[in-house]
Amino acid sequence: MSSDQDTSEQATQLGKHVALPASPEAAMLERVDNPQIGVDYAVRFTCPEFTSLCPVTGQPDFAHLVIDYVPGDWLVESKSLKLYLGAFRNHGAFHEDCTVAIARRLCDLMAPKYLRIGGYWYPRGGMPIDVFYQTGDLPAGVWLPDQGVAGYRGRG
């Protein structure tokens, strides 16, 4: 049974040794009940050492990801998110595909009231590519700070 669809699941990976999934598709993202249903608040995950592979050259690509969301009924379980993001290490995809695929999978899992992701990719071939995705407008009254990642400046 895939926990991406089951609405009664609880975290099954938390507190256990779990090997890094072979691919993002094989990773089991899990969700848990939001203990603050009815309260709009923002959650931020920062992954400053995200890694994937260039689908053409097979060389590593590195990014600083910032994921912000306003939960509905569900939260993403953080260990499952860490394992899911780690599964991209051996996955070949363009920056745009990685960033948007992560956002869409999280939306499918949690149905958040709002989600945005910033993919701040380090340069390859002399040019950084930053990718941004969001699901709509931030709910009124929710404070969400700037993602805090400076644009790439080189060796300054």
Give the active site residues.
54, 61
Residues 6+ apart with CB under 8 A from 83: 13, 18, 20, 21, 27, 28
Residue 13, token pair as written in the block? 């990976």
Three-state secondary-structure class, residue 66:
strand
Burial class (CB in 10 A: 0-12, 13-18, 19+), 134: middle
Judge contact between 153 and 120, C-beta under 8 A.
no
Burial class (CB in 10 A: 0-12, 13-18, 19+), 40: middle
Q: Which of 35, 40, 31 is nearest to 12 (CA)?
A: 31
